[in-house]
Amino acid sequence: MKVLIIHNDLRVYWRRRLFFLRDFLKCNNIELNAVELFGKGSPYNFESFNKTESWWDCLFPNQSNFDLTKHQIKDKVFNKLDEIRPDVVIGGSIVFYSGALGLQWAKRNKKKFIMFDDAKPSWVKRNFIVQAVKDLITNQIDALWLPSDEYDQEYTRLYSKSKIKYLYGYDCIDNNLFKVEGEKRVDNKKIITVSRLVEKKNVKSLLDVWKYVENNDDSYSLIVVGDGPLFGELQDHKKNLGLKRVSFLGVTANDQLPGILHEADAFVSPSLYESWGLVVNEAMAAGLPVLLSTKINAAFTLVKEGENGYMFDPGEQEIFQEKLLKFIKLPVSVKKEMSLKSLELISRMDFNYMGDELLQTLSFLQTRPFKKPSLFARLVLNRWYGRYNTKEWDKV
């Protein structure tokens, strides 16, 4: 069997997933190929595409979607898929070029299509007609790859499990990267946040809350890791608030982050929207209890309230303050138990789980007949090319 993963870009978190899946599937006589569309215009532009693997290609390494017409993108995608001839195509949501065109090609060539997605339908507001068209197209897929079964509550209202195979676990990281030698201590008196310093990460609100924390218990420090357009503004806000126990570390090399996380007692994120939030996986893999906004989808899967952390509405500042202080005042023995619970929970969401879920689904799809779309569905699908919208990357 030959499998192809296609997406707008496949960098940063995807890189290690792909290398793992390539070897994992090869052991089961399945060949994995990867295609990313654009080398430019990605939110992950800090990691450029460098083609070194014969099985991994970028169709437009020196261009973004803004430099191309939808017909140019479609022609290049179809030509590449015709060249590889995969039995199963795996792509992102059909709202993107990769998902829409990957599904189009699969239907034209009587192949199977798996769609991955981590956004919850209720969090994306569309008018009735747009939502109906999206649902019509999405119902043509063969399998839906979600981060966890916690998403079922929303997705099964739109896409029946009797018609679409569900699988889980693609939003994972290499947990082993965040294991650090030595005992994990939880008495370092540090709470850490790691994020791009942009509006939706809500770090300014975190500083406001930290002012209350300092006024009530000045034993802990807040460490802010990351850079972005609000870096200077946030530093000024720190000074205006008179905060004494807040440090901005700026950009940190990937190989240094595990050690920095290891030295903290807990991780906090007040983000106003995260379709998942892989930094939560990283923090938990480093053994940190987590304090998370209810606007982070990962929280509903990875946080067990009071066991490995707390959740809070980022709009309810008093509750946010209370949760931070509550953690700070916990006995060290309880913090240690929460640390161990984070490690236990994240261990269930690792690369092997991801691989097993995908392998079982590929085996299942081999037994299923081709899912032929209706005439109307085919007409709609063939007129939808997808898009490349990253406005949510920085803004709410």
Which tens digit of pLDDT belongs to each residue from 137-192? 999 999 999 999 999 999 999 999 999 999 999 999 999 999 998 889 999 999 99
Q: pLDDT value at position 388?
A: 66
Instruction: Give the model's pLDDT for residue 387.
Output: 82
Query: Hunting for tokens 């795996």 — which residue is that?
Result: 90
Please tell me the distance from the alpha carbon of residue 395 to that of residue 150, in angstroms, as a whole number: 25
Rounded Cα gap, residues 200 and 233, in angstroms: 14
CA dihedral 91, 96, 101, 107 (to 10 degrees): 60
Provide the pLDDT for residue 393: 53
Low-confidence ranges of the chain (pLDDT < 70): 43-51, 388-396
- Confidence at residue 314, expressed as pLDDT on a 0 to 100 scale: 96
Residue range 334-378, pLDDT digits in tens: 999 999 999 999 999 999 999 999 999 999 999 999 999 999 999
CA distances, 292 to each of 15, 213, 276, 282 (Å): 26, 17, 12, 14
What is the DSSP code string of 271-325? -S-BSS-HHHHHHHHTT--EEEETTBHHHHHH--BTTTEEEE-TT-HHHHHHHHH
pLDDT on residue 128? 80
Q: How many CB atoms lie within 10 A of CB 161?
A: 11
Q: Residue 247: count other Cβ atoms within 10 Å of its Cβ.
A: 14
Q: State the Rg of the chain over Cα.
A: 22
- Going from the C-alpha of 2 to that of each of 36, 187, 338, 339, 373, the distances in angstroms are 17, 50, 43, 41, 23
Res 254: pLDDT: 86
User: Interior CA angle at 11 toward 31 and 180, to 5°?
Assistant: 100
Single-letter amino acid code for the residue at 324: L
| Dihedral sign for Cα atoms in the order 348, 349, 355, 357 | positive
The model's pTM is: 0.94
Establish how many alpha carbons lie within 13 A of residue 136's alpha carbon, considering only the half-sphere containing its beta carbon: 18
The interaxial angle of helices 13-26 and 351-366, nearest 10 deg, is 50
Task: Please tell me the predicted confidence (pLDDT) of residue 130.
Answer: 84
What is the residue-averaged pLDDT of the chain?
93
Q: Are 284 and 343 in contact (CB under 8 A)?
A: yes
State how far the Cα of 66 lies from the Cα of 50, in Å rounded to an integer.
21
pLDDT of residue 265: 98
Dist CA 163 CA 178 (whole Å) = 38
pLDDT of residue 183: 87
Q: Is 132 left (phi over 0), alpha (psi -120 to 50) or beta?
A: alpha
Q: What pLDDT, on a 0 to 100 scale, did the predictor assign at position 367?
A: 95
Exposure of 316 in the CB half-sphere (CA atoms within 13 A): 12
The angle at the Cα of 170, spanning 57 to 227, to the nearest 5 degrees, equals 75
| E strands present in the chain | 2-7, 31-38, 56-60, 88-91, 112-116, 143-146, 165-168, 190-194, 221-225, 246-250, 266-269, 290-293, 309-312
| Domains along the sequence of the chain with CATH | 2-172+350-393 (3.40.50.2000), 176-347 (3.40.50.2000)
Element of type H or E holding 296: none
Per-residue DSSP letter, 387: B
